[in-house]
Amino acid sequence: MRILADENMPYVTELFGGWGEITTRSGRAISTADVASANLLLVRSVTRVDAALLVSARQLKFVGSATIGCDHIDQLLLAERGIPFANAPGCNAPAVVDYVIASLFHAAQRSGRELQQLRYGVVGVGQCGGRLVTRLQALGVEVLCCDPPRQRSEGLSDFVDIDTLIDHSDVISLHVPLVRSGPDTTHHLLDGTRLARLRPDALLINACRGEVVDNHALLGLLHQRPDVDVILDVWEGEPQPLLPLVARALIATPHIAGYSLEGKARGSWMLAERVAALLQLPAPPALASLLPPPQLSQLQLAAVPDWAQLGQLVHAVYQPLADDTRMRQSGLDAAGFDRLRRDYPQRRELAATCVSAPAQAHPLLSGCGFTLNSPVEEQP
């Protein structure tokens, strides 16, 4: 069996190597000729799987995307051709939430405002947004939720519409799929009109898809509103972001919010499980057997940490400013953007670190994302 995979997918050899011959390519460079002889096609979000790519693909038995989002996949075409497809819902959601939480601690430190002093608005309450809401609430902060499809289907009376959320949120975090048409379109969900409604000293975080925010309108707003800050992991026009917007962002990163080792490994493993079931192949190795031990595996606290100490703990495991620095020093051309993603350093999720602490600290530590050991007795 011939297997073609994005070179940014980890553990492909360990998970798929026993089933056939593996070829890896840069996700943006995967071509029609590459796919023509492939039986399995394994991609990430940068590869557009459409009629143009599959024009000569006559031997495909499976297409998989090791990502949550599917806007880069023509699923209708695959269904018409009888080619099974799977993605990896939730695979990198914990990592994306880690990115947001770690970024929030940096923003709070910079502004002098503690996290619990602000009202948060989460747009899109699915795999990523739902986890973020849970963790923010564990931290004891007020959260507004907006998700029109969920609100309609589940009758959620405590959800609000996007304009109400903008009007009443100090921090807005976007976690929606990219939908280009229809009643729930998210393309330019935050256009110039909505961006102009941001509250004084607002913070906007986008870690879903760049096109959800009108980047040119956002840049224009930031020129007029120096009080507004933005944290951007995704950009219109990737891999060539709007350079003045990069310069103005509080944190700018190259679409790596979900790039934890666990998240990428989980995406590969979920696809391997689907392939094994579909083609009746031997089960892949267990996910836990693939991961090395984390560098910071254990922490012990003698007392309940304050907010500054919580931020220090989070940043000891993951500091998004390091990713920001690498991006700003990369030259910011298309090759540099993709190179940063390809050569991304090993990053572990906060849950890989186990913390022993007094029971009173558990909600805060859980909200940050740490795994909790048995409570310890608080020292005076």
| Per-residue pLDDT at 310 exceeds 90 | yes
- In the residue annotation, 25 being an active-site residue is answered as no
Write the pLDDT tens digit of every residue in 70-94.
889 999 999 999 999 999 999 999 9
Q: Specify whether 142 is located in the same domain as 83.
A: no
Q: Looking at residue 375, what is its pLDDT?
A: 63
In this predicted structure, the answer to whether residue 281 has a pLDDT above a threshold of 50 is yes
Q: Name the pLDDT band for 40 (thresholds 50, 70, 90).
A: very high
User: What value does the mean pLDDT take over residues 194-203?
Assistant: 97
Q: Which of 44, 135, 175, 238 is catalytic?
A: 238
255 in active site:
yes
Tell whether the model's pLDDT for residue 359 goes beyond 90.
yes
Q: Which of 255, 266, 341, 347 is catalytic?
A: 255
Decide if 377 is inside a domain: no
CATH of residue 271's domain is: 3.40.50.720
- Provide the number of structural domains found in the chain: 3
Which of these, 261, 233, 367, 250, lies nearest to 311 by C-alpha position?
367
Asked if residue 380 is part of any domain, the answer here is: no
Same domain, 147 and 225: yes
The reported pLDDT for the residue numbered 331 is 76
| Cβ count near 331 (within 10 Å) | 11
In a domain, 344, yes or no: yes
Q: What is the pLDDT of residue 258?
A: 95
Looking at the chain, list the stretches that DSSP marks H as alpha helix, in order from N- to C-terminal side: 12-16, 32-36, 75-81, 93-111, 127-138, 148-154, 162-168, 192-195, 215-224, 243-248, 261-279, 287-290, 307-317, 320-328, 334-342, 362-368
Whether the per-residue pLDDT at 26 is higher than 80: the answer is yes
Q: Is 238 known to be catalytic? A: yes
Of the residues 209, 248, 266, 341, only one is catalytic, namely 209
Domain extent, residue 113, equals 93-252
For the cut 50, the answer to whether the pLDDT of residue 380 exceeds it is no
Sign of torsion, CA 256 258 260 264?
negative
pTM of the model: 0.90
